[in-house]
Structure 1
Amino acid sequence: ANEGLYSVMNDDNTQQSWGYPALFDSPDNDCWYLIHEADVDRNYCGSKLSNTDDKSFYKITFPYPKDGNGLGESAPTINLPWKSPWRVVIMGTLSDIVESTLIHDVSPPSVIKNTDWIKPGLVSWNYWSSNHGTKDYKIVCDFADLAASMGWPYTLIDWEWDAMSNGGNLDDAIKYIHSLGVKPLIWYNSGGPHTGVRSTPRDRMLTHENRVEEFTKLKKMGVAGVKVDFFESEKQDMIRYYLDILDDAAQFEMMVYFHGCIVPRGWERTYPNLMTLEAVRGAEWYNNGPDLTTTAPEHNTILPFTRNVVGPMDYTPVTFTNSQYPHITSFGHELALSVVFESGLQHLADRPEGYYGLPDAARTFLKEVPAAWDDTKLLDGYPGRDLIIARRKGAQWYIGGISSERFERTKNLNFNFLPDNKKYKLTLIADGKHDKDFSTQYKVVDKSSTLSIKLLRRGGFAAVLKPLD
């Protein structure tokens, strides 16, 4: 499912298989290389890198035979005429890597002519705080209320919705969600013999006939999109399955996102209804064990240089309360993740009281922060240490900064990325006196301005720049 932590190699002695994307640097750190692949179509499989034969030589290898419960062939069957997927190497500075759109650029253009119905946005999500919450109609309604209160366009009805009770069923929940002006998204198990996960509903996406029947019902119910989970393979048969889902969903103007899945291969350009993919160790791992508690600060600063470069990433960020295992990142760090991580459907994972209890500035920030961007600039950072990133939507800029370090730091923020002769109102929401506190500043800045920002250990900050007329 591509949900491991990124391994840092400090020598040349590690020999194993490596998932994409892979980030390399030159000995003097003057040049970086991000290796990936794009435009994987029905005539191929997903591949990976391996240096098991020679520690200094990385070759392309096919999926393991055991993947997908051992179903499907590891090696693809190629029909002529044939072209290989793009083998992509993004080279340059860290800014060149983070700001690159090369994976998108080499992928085929959209096969969907009218895309007006495809709308990115923020999503409320109950799984992180209540793993079986969708069984409970009242919990589903609470998260619909959260989306309405925050002005988020969507709420996700996650797994086990076919067992919903405690006051209502799926039909009741969808009616209630629509009454608030919110649009429902809904979960499916990809099903079939390729996965041993029995969570329901399953087997409703397996065939073209299944999908047409299900999408017809969902369209009538006013469902905006589907989350399809547990693929467990990157063999050719599963690549075809992914693309078949996207094709059929587009016919019903249905947005899609994949979980337990492949790392993006540029499909979101060809199928702009593909809003996001998981393929990351995200916040749900605070449910799965204690490891993310200690690894998240560093992990979060690696992802913008690696996984999120190659496509949208459904990390499900921005949590201020705790799930089954706690987080040790500061509130400023968590708020910043709404900008640091890019996802066309950005699921904010906390329980309602986690957002209702925020001070006005932070809550307003989360009401307004976009889920899709027009431009991205890396302002500072190094993988595993820290990051400051700026993203633009229209005329407004949003900035997110995070640190993994175990001591307080002061970072200098330079605004030289702004246009000439233009002033902006800055709202800066940074770490406060302790890790569950914020400090908010309001300033007028322009291209010549600089600002010193104090970050607590494992801290962070978020900011928005709005042009002054």
Structure 2
Amino acid sequence: MNLLRKTWMMLVAVMISSCHTETLDIVSPDGDLKVTMEPAEENAYGEAAFSVDYKGGRILSQSQLGLETDTQKLVGNLKLKSVSAVKRVTDDYNMITGKRSHCVNEASERIYSFENEVGQTLEVTFRVYNDGLAFKYGINAVVDEENIIREHTTYTVPKGARRWMQQYDPGYEKFFPLSTDGKLTNRPEVDLWGYPALVEPQDSVFVLITEANIRRGHCGSLLYNGGQRDSYQVRLADKQSVGDGLWESPWRLLIIGDLSDVVESTLVTDVSDPSKVEDTEWINPGMVSWIYWAHNHGSKDYQIVKEYIDLATRMKWPYDLIDWEWDEMGNGGNLQDAVKYALEQGIKPLLWYNSSTSWLGPGPLYRLNKKEDREKEYKWLSDMGVAGIKVDFFTGDSVATMNYYMDLLEDAVKYKLMLNFHGATIPRGWQRTYPHLMSVEGVYGAEWYNNNSILTNRAAEHNATLPFTRNVVGPMDYTPGTFSDSQHPHITSHGHELALPVIFESALQHMPDRPSVYDNLPEAVKHLLSELPTAWDDTKLLAGYPGVEVVMARRKGDVWYIAGINGTNEPRTLRAPLAAISVSGKQMSLFKDGTDDRSFAIEENIPLSDEETGLEIKCLPRGGFVAVIR
């Protein structure tokens, strides 16, 4: 009798749970993505959690929700108090920079209100898009003193799932090695990971984990998997305090789908605050000549600075960056002379600054930290004719640093200065809110050929991983296009290097090599680099897999630029289907690997027709190509 009663009770509980869960689900507009909310009373672990299904298959299970403060414990045994009706949310906006000029996305939104044992409430807002999901926390805090937040969000990925994750580093300058157990092969003790993190929970289904819409008073976060290697808890990078009234977290993001869904997604900017800048005529993406890579201390020397201004003139690039130590410039001229010379050539100068918060080595120092000093410096730059600044050496993801980024951006609007952050955190949507944020380093880039020999043998695989990880979330100042060698050699081919300024998105694309190297490139290659856009109307991933290969198509106006790279040490044929691109009646110019890795094979004015189904390009080891269709 007891057994029958238990069986009957379990059956009723399952029926109620199934019915209840059905009402709690939230589904993407196209029906492919579903989030199932699991309150503590319906969860075997006794905690509020959610699971994610994609095209009918479970890809993430029992991912925990919750926040805790000094005065509120909103984690674990939370009961569901209420659920809002499903609301349709549409994001429709234009971008000056980035992978797409007109961004449109649509989501289903629900707000889940949870309550703890003493009646304190946690609201979780979920949006489910066709290309992923976003959620954020909201709490009402009434406190008389600092109240510290600790987040308990935990993403649980399937055991053995492939993942490409970067060991957490405040400058986000590490590799994204492939792992299946949540550990680094050479450093198994590492348990802190930075965004974005790419996971393949099922064959050909991917999840990119990141965050967006950091506002004033927020810190950034990272991922921790020290307890269980397949569970990644969100850890705040700093003491995050909340005062009286409503507090909201940044959006936690999971971009989901096949690799093209991930790479082409604009979810990071979709959920970020709209532009705060009304007049944007002064914000202009473009190519930049850059002195540092070949001449570490070159900005001290007026004559070398002039050489890079002249390079920009010959290459028809709009900008030249005068890097660190310009305040010590000599050998025939000073900074004012260099800026005047650039403007006379029709080149807009950009200047480097030390943020003066981390490494206090090269100068100028302490010119931007205080508002009154910053406004004075910005006015001086604007009056001289400087178009923008690169600010370097920040101190990670703390609240103070995030506020400092926003101080720099907001005060720059009045003086019409574009900004580029180096030694900095990754983009989290500010490229929409502050459209004069042109680029961010936050990547292990070509600059590292100057520092040690590690990049030489890993660059090809690394370059073929970045389009699926770091560059998905926003502009990436990798400084591509190194055709010669710096302090340490590169073994990627010329075709590979030429492909990188197309594959890597950055509104200011810094070209780092020596003037003599660009001067000696084939005329057709110089012409391509002289007209290459740095912001795009559309982006499509045509083929690829992390660390192996990538073929990317980007459109500006009615011209398509297709670029591919081989991330392996063996010859490889890259295939680019053209079904998504209208090519009939157009012509193609093709730049690919030559007979060796330091030469090109170039074909121009190749007619295309409706019968063209795709490209097949044979690449050298670590090779690549660029095709221009117009």
TM-score by length of 2: 0.71
Residue equivalent to 1:106? 271
**Shift in Å, 1:404:** 1.5
Residue equivalent to 2:629? 465
**Shift in Å, 1:302:** 0.4
Structure 1 distance, partners of 2:204, 2:627, is 30
**Shift in Å, 1:62:** 2.0
Structure 1 distance, partners of 2:587, 2:411, is 45
**Shift in Å, 1:30:** 2.7
What secondary structure sits across from 1:334 in the alignment? helix
What secondary structure sits across from 1:256 in the alignment? strand
What secondary structure sits across from 2:178 in the alignment? coil
1:137 aligns with 2:302: yes
Structure 2 distance, partners of 1:217, 1:393, is 35
**Shift in Å, 1:12:** 4.4
What secondary structure sits across from 1:284 in the alignment? helix
1:358 aligns with 2:532: no
Aligned equivalent of 1:301, options 446, 464, 478: 464
Q: How does 1:170-189 map to 2 (within 5 A)?
A: 170-189=335-354
1:311 aligns with 2:474: yes
**Shift in Å, 1:419:** 2.7
Conservation of the 8 A alpha-carbon contact between 1:417 and 1:447: no
Residue equivalent to 1:157? 322
Residue equivalent to 1:21? 196
Aligned equivalent of 1:8, options 178, 198, 201: 178
Conservation of the 8 A alpha-carbon contact between 2:543 and 2:575: no
**Shift in Å, 1:324:** 0.3
What secondary structure sits across from 2:588 in the alignment? strand
Q: How does 1:322-361 map to 2 (within 5 A)?
A: 322-361=485-524
CA-to-partner distance for each residue in 1:23-42, whole Å, 9 max, x for gaps?
Answer: 00024x23100000000111
**Shift in Å, 1:283:** 0.6
**Which amino acid is the alignment partner of residue 33 of structure 1?**
V
What secondary structure sits across from 2:487 in the alignment? coil
Structure 2 distance, partners of 1:380, 1:175, is 46
**Shift in Å, 1:453:** 1.3
Residue equivalent to 1:268? 431
Structure 2 distance, partners of 1:49, 1:458, is 32
Q: How does 1:44-123 map to 2 (within 5 A)?
A: 44-63=218-237, 74-79=238-243, 80-123=245-288
Structure 2 distance, partners of 1:172, 1:112, is 32
Structure 2 distance, partners of 1:412, 1:271, is 37
Higher relative contact order structure (alpha carbons within 8 Å, sequence separation ≥ 6): 1
What secondary structure sits across from 2:420 in the alignment? strand
Residue equivalent to 2:163? none
Conservation of the 8 A alpha-carbon contact between 1:159 and 1:199: yes
Conservation of the 8 A alpha-carbon contact between 1:416 and 1:447: no
Q: How does 1:23-42 map to 2 (within 5 A)?
A: 23-27=198-202, 29-42=203-216
Structure 2 distance, partners of 1:373, 1:423, is 23
What secondary structure sits across from 2:560 in the alignment? strand
What secondary structure sits across from 1:171 in the alignment? helix
**Shift in Å, 1:260:** 0.4
Structure 2 distance, partners of 1:452, 1:233, is 43
Structure 2 distance, partners of 1:175, 1:382, is 47
Q: How does 1:200-211 map to 2 (within 5 A)?
A: 200-211=363-374
Conservation of the 8 A alpha-carbon contact between 2:564 and 2:574: no
Residue equivalent to 1:371? 534
What secondary structure sits across from 2:317 in the alignment? coil
Structure 2 distance, partners of 1:300, 1:447, is 32
Structure 1 distance, partners of 2:529, 2:446, is 17
Aligned equivalent of 1:456, options 620, 624, 629: 620
Give the direction of change, closer, same or farther, for the CA distance of 1:30–1:248 in structure 2 (3 Å limit).
Answer: same
Structure 1 distance, partners of 2:542, 2:371, is 46
Residue equivalent to 1:71? none
**Which amino acid is the alignment partner of residue 547 of structure 2?**
G
What secondary structure sits across from 1:109 in the alignment? coil
Give the direction of change, closer, same or farther, for the CA distance of 1:26–1:356 in structure 2 (3 Å limit).
Answer: same
Structure 1 distance, partners of 2:362, 2:371, is 21
Residue equivalent to 1:227? 390
**Shift in Å, 1:424:** 1.4
Aligned equivalent of 1:424, options 586, 605, 610: 586
**Shift in Å, 1:44:** 1.2
CA-to-partner distance for each residue in 1:415-437, whole Å, 9 max, x for gaps?
Answer: 212137x4211000000100011
What secondary structure sits across from 1:122 in the alignment? strand
Conservation of the 8 A alpha-carbon contact between 1:143 and 1:155: yes
Residue equivalent to 2:407? 244
**Shift in Å, 1:11:** 2.4
What secondary structure sits across from 2:248 in the alignment? coil
Aligned equivalent of 2:376, options 213, 217, 232: 213
Structure 2 distance, partners of 1:248, 1:406, is 47
CA-to-partner distance for each residue in 1:374-415, whole Å, 9 max, x for gaps?
Answer: 100001110000100000001100011000211212223322
**Shift in Å, 1:76:** 1.4
Give unmatched runs, 5+ long, in structure 2: 1-170
Residue equivalent to 2:127? none
Structure 1 distance, partners of 2:260, 2:478, is 22
1:169 aligns with 2:339: no
Residue equivalent to 1:67? none
Structure 1 distance, partners of 2:225, 2:610, is 46
Residue equivalent to 1:69? none
Structure 1 distance, partners of 2:616, 2:442, is 35
What secondary structure sits across from 1:5 in the alignment? coil
What secondary structure sits across from 2:402 in the alignment? helix
CA-to-partner distance for each residue in 1:426-463, whole Å, 9 max, x for gaps?
Answer: 00000010001100113112453133211001000011
Root-mean-square deviation (CA, aligned residues, Å) is 1.2
**Which amino acid is the alignment partner of residue 18 of structure 1?**
W
Q: Percent identity, please.
A: 50
My pick for the range that moved more, 452-461 or 78-87, is 78-87
**Shift in Å, 1:75:** 1.2
Structure 2 distance, partners of 1:100, 1:448, is 30
CA-to-partner distance for each residue in 1:65-107, whole Å, 9 max, x for gaps?
Answer: xxxxxxxxx2112243221100000000000000000001110
Q: How does 1:274-293 map to 2 (within 5 A)?
A: 274-293=437-456
Structure 2 distance, partners of 1:237, 1:288, is 29
Give unmatched runs, 5+ long, in structure 1: 64-73
Residue equivalent to 1:440? 602
Structure 2 distance, partners of 1:12, 1:276, is 30
What secondary structure sits across from 1:19 in the alignment? strand
**Shift in Å, 1:234:** 0.8
Conservation of the 8 A alpha-carbon contact between 1:26 and 1:32: yes
